[in-house]
Amino acid sequence: MITLREALTRATGQLAAHPDLQPTALADAVLLLCHTLTLTRADLIAHPERPLSREQQAAYQRLLDRRLRFEPIQYILGTQEFFSLTLRVTSAVLIPRPETELLVEAVLARLAHLDQDTSIRIVDVGTGSGAIALALAHTLPRASLTATDLSPEALALARENAAAHHLTDRIHFLHSDLLQQLASEPPFDCIVSNPPYIPRADASTLHPQVRDHEPAQALFAGPTGLELYTRLIPQAHALLKPAGLLALEFGFGQRDALASLLASWHAVEFLPDLQGIPRVALAHKPDLPYL
């Protein structure tokens, strides 16, 4: 029988032996141990000499083995925090990332001028876990959300997350390729999306936990990574109100291409992420036909 301290030391060593897992070895070992034993970090710190039974050791090792195969910690634990909301995540959806919180914050800032007594109609394209739609619905109590995705599995999970946060009456989930199923809808105030934008050729450069475990449909867009933007931007123009907001997350090195695709839009702005890399594009629909 071993103690919590011994189990944690051993697990950290196993994870740190892999260069791709070394940077988060201790943090991952702590999370998995707490998850295995239903402990808090405070419990772990306060009682490091607490023994683990053989069954508990085996259960802990099973989770460690999954991490050693580069399965993301979020899939193992089954949850991810996003914009102060706890979301359930599975391998059917992209893991929500901090960069996408910047997208949500930018949308909230751009919509702040709208009349608070008026309902705001927003579409989240490619909702995945529902992260963006839920964050906006939670923060904007008068907003009405439509969340689309091509994956039935992702939509089912997004509905589950909406139910967990009591937002099912505020978000309509729709199986759709981008905005195709909304073509006959009245115009929207805002369309927001974090679409797949990684070029297929870049797959080998990704961390194994991303490349081998997150859904390819949510990562890769085609040869250039811009394929979905070339379809989505004209569709968004057709569905937005005059001066309506389009907000997009995009990848490294794609700013200039997005600027070209948004050349006929108004008030185009690009925002950097915490590393200073352009990450979010904001643009308003002009009162002109799409060119």
N residues, the chain: 291
Q: With respect to residue 245, please indicate whether it lies within any of the assigned structural domains.
A: yes
Residues 117 and 249 in one domain: yes
Question: What is the average pLDDT across 186-209?
Answer: 96
Residue 78 lies in a domain: no
Average pLDDT over residues 148-175: 98
Task: Give the distance from CA 133 to its chain's centroid.
Answer: 10
Q: Provide the whole-model pTM.
A: 0.92
Query: Which pLDDT band, with edges at 50, 70 and 90, does 119 fall under?
Result: confident
Q: What is the pLDDT of residue 167?
A: 97
pLDDT tens digit sequence for 5-64: 999 999 999 999 999 999 999 999 999 999 999 999 998 989 999 999 999 999 999 999
Percent of the chain with pLDDT over 70: 98
Longest Cα separation, the chain: 73
Q: Within this chain, do residues 22 and 144 fall inside the same structural domain, yes or no?
A: no
pLDDT digits (tens, 9 = 90+) for 123-161: 999 999 999 999 999 999 999 999 999 999 999 999 999
Residues 168 and 33 in one domain: no
Locate tokens 């189990």: which residue?
Answer: 7
Q: 104 and 60 in one domain?
A: no
If asked whether residues 161 and 103 sit together in one domain, one would say yes
- CATH assignment at residue 194: 3.40.50.150
- 93 touches 128 (CB < 8 A): yes
Instruction: Report yes or no on 291 lying in a domain.
Output: no
Residue pair 99/68 in contact (Cβ under 8 Å)? The answer is no
Q: Are residues 63 and 136 in the same domain?
A: no
**In the prediction, which pLDDT does 290 show?**
42
Is the same domain home to 64 and 125? Answer: no
pLDDT (average), residues 76-93: 98
Domain containing 108: what range? 93-284
Residue 57 belongs to domain with CATH number: 1.10.8.10
Do residue 118 and residue 53 come from a single domain? no
Number of domains in the chain: 2
Q: Answer with the one of 69, 84, 108 that is the final residue of a domain.
A: 69
Say if 79 falls within a structural domain.
Answer: no
Q: Does 116 score more than 80 pLDDT? A: no
Q: What is the pLDDT of residue 1?
A: 83
Give domain status of residue 107, yes or no: yes
